Structure 1
């Protein structure tokens, strides 16, 4: 899929979200026994044996070898696998999951898929989202010990998998939050323990560059020449410009995440009448495409998370027919995929959610449903 000169085959991938890093909205039943809202509090609330049994049942069944075969059969060539900082099971109270990542490499090599390992959480959280493991808390960057731990996890992952054929690369950190996103996100004010959240705040660009520089310094000598080091843009795609080039970094990519439903959260956009929403989608996607093209002049860019979910279908509600909803989803998929052609590839979020049947109520976040509904072929 790649060589020392960069990508030679476009990435057409899917995220394996909620497998090794849990997100309550994706499968609420996992959290019902505890009543908690994120993975860290789930771990804290449950008895160790009960927690281990719950996680084992989930991980054994949520993603299997059959899913890898299905992904490959649909023309995908890569899976992005979010992993937690306790992946190696060396943090008391947090069961590890590296054996499942080992299985994923076996399955990927049997089906011809590449794997992008994505460090999705860090101690103290880098974004305060539930996908960062600890809602409302962003204190990781204030702790030299936590930062050093994240770097060590990355190094250990590289050493464990650098000789595996399926390893496409390692993503250093998922969605380190910027100031605007921190201020606008409801999650920033939803910490269960306010004392734990004291001192939380966005990740400064200067800190992020130092962390990325050190991560590259550690990973590049371990990984092979063709394996990619991926850096999330930190919701600041336009600010990186030629920084990676000036730093002398080779074999790197920049990851950006683009969601229509996130853009629609801005208050003024909620006032757009339904008949004009598709016009807004077109403009937003074209603007995103332009930003990708500008950033890609310096460093290859991937759209590492996106989906066809949109609020137009939600706003139509009972007034819209299934045929009308299907048409909207197909159009939204088409305009995005065309725009993402400006990048080195795209990775859908996510392969599976609750595991419900896609027949009655297909979910646009669930790629298995999207395929079944024919929204994206």
Structure 2
């Protein structure tokens, strides 16, 4: 089993930085507050147009033409339309399955958000709030969402697997990213009591979720667990015979390596990738098939300034106003980091790039130089990302 794919980020789960126009006319920084600041009609119109245009059949054709074989689709906890004021999006996922099956691609359904937040970041649906794990009713709700997804898609030819929850923030990530400073909560009262997810909680959640959905899945489908940014703590987990087809997902970004002290040079990245990404994946591949479910070519070197772990103008930072490198030099940097990272994922069971596309205008909007590397389409077009067909 080797998988090569791309994330359809910002389609069914919104991230403001990836498509700022959707948030126009509001001060909302995340998907929780967006419908609370727009009228019902405006919100529904915006979301419906966005979903129908952002990803279409043609995109599946493009992804297939790049020689990739899978897509990871982030979905929200309100996918089934049962959490006001949000609108469900299961019909879009149905369409994605039809497209994937038509063009020979597989889908990893990734439950990307949880009510009250599982990591406190914008991509968890609500900034600065991380209380989902403390609320048994909401934990149970997430189990029912996973069950319904498994029942609906468990026999579909296009299903590669189901990821139980994206990026639960364990203590290390919570502290490293300084979550509530980086993603300040809008409602301080609501954010009170937010805390990192404990290892004990997430292990129990994974075991329970496995038991609840496994029976609905065909034998060739995978159940994917996220490492919580602690790749090597899972060696003793799910060792029993009954756990089959479990895949461990790790997200490895150079911007996080920079936060851990990685030098911002091509040589510095190479050293870090070999000593950390590659070494740890190789080590853990003995216990689980390991995929790198999110990574990209983005790095501070190519931006021309220290982004402090991928922070942007949205975090109140200036950003570079002029390019530091010629297109040729930039291409060399990106090709080098692409090669070294792909070599690391080869030690495991594959990867999914983050992300397929970006609607940030990196040319006309001040401070976004270097952010185009999050957009796989641009990386392919510029020759930054070598396709292995």
Which residue matches 1:148?
Answer: 140
User: Residue 120 of structure 2 is aligned with which of 122, 128, 145?
Assistant: 128
Which residue matches 1:171?
Answer: 163
Aligned residues: 362
Distance verdict in 2 for CA 1:111–1:26, change over 3 Å: same
Larger deviation, residues 205-214 vs 32-41: 32-41
User: Residue 66 of structure 2 is aligned with which of 71, 74, 86?
Assistant: 74
CA apart distance, 1:188? 2.1
Normalising by the residue count of structure 2, what TM-score does the alignment of the two structures yield? 0.90
Which residue matches 1:367?
Answer: 376
Contact 1:242-1:299 at 8 Å conserved across structures: no
Structure-2 separation of matches of 1:342 and 1:320: 32
Contact 1:216-1:229 at 8 Å conserved across structures: yes
Structural mapping, 1:219-238, within 5 Å: 219-238=213-232
Contact 2:291-2:349 at 8 Å conserved across structures: yes
RMSD of the alignment, in Å?
Answer: 1.7
CA apart distance, 1:44? 1.5
Which residue matches 1:204?
Answer: 198
Which residue matches 1:306?
Answer: 295
CA apart distance, 1:357? 9.4
Distance verdict in 2 for CA 1:195–1:368, change over 3 Å: same
Structure-2 separation of matches of 1:348 and 1:123: 26
Larger deviation, residues 165-174 vs 43-52: 43-52
User: Residue 280 of structure 2 is aligned with which of 286, 291, 294?
Assistant: 291
Helix, strand or coil for the counterpart of 1:40?
Answer: coil
Distance verdict in 2 for CA 1:18–1:55, change over 3 Å: same
Structure-2 separation of matches of 1:139 and 1:207: 12
CA apart distance, 1:362? 7.8
Structure-1 separation of matches of 2:27 and 2:52: 22
CA apart distance, 1:264? 1.3
Normalising by the residue count of structure 1, what TM-score does the alignment of the two structures yield? 0.93
Contact 1:362-1:369 at 8 Å conserved across structures: no
Structural mapping, 1:66-145, within 5 Å: 66-145=58-137
Unmatched tracts of structure 2, length 5 or more = 306-321, 364-368
Helix, strand or coil for the counterpart of 1:363?
Answer: helix
Structure-2 separation of matches of 1:210 and 1:93: 30
Structure-2 separation of matches of 1:229 and 1:72: 24
Structure-1 separation of matches of 2:12 and 2:195: 26
CA apart distance, 1:323? 1.0
Contact 2:248-2:288 at 8 Å conserved across structures: yes
User: Residue 330 of structure 2 is aligned with which of 320, 325, 334?
Assistant: 325
User: Residue 346 of structure 1 is aligned with which of 348, 351, 357?
Assistant: 351
Q: Deviations over 1:274-304 (max 9, x none)?
A: 6xx1222012111211101111111110000
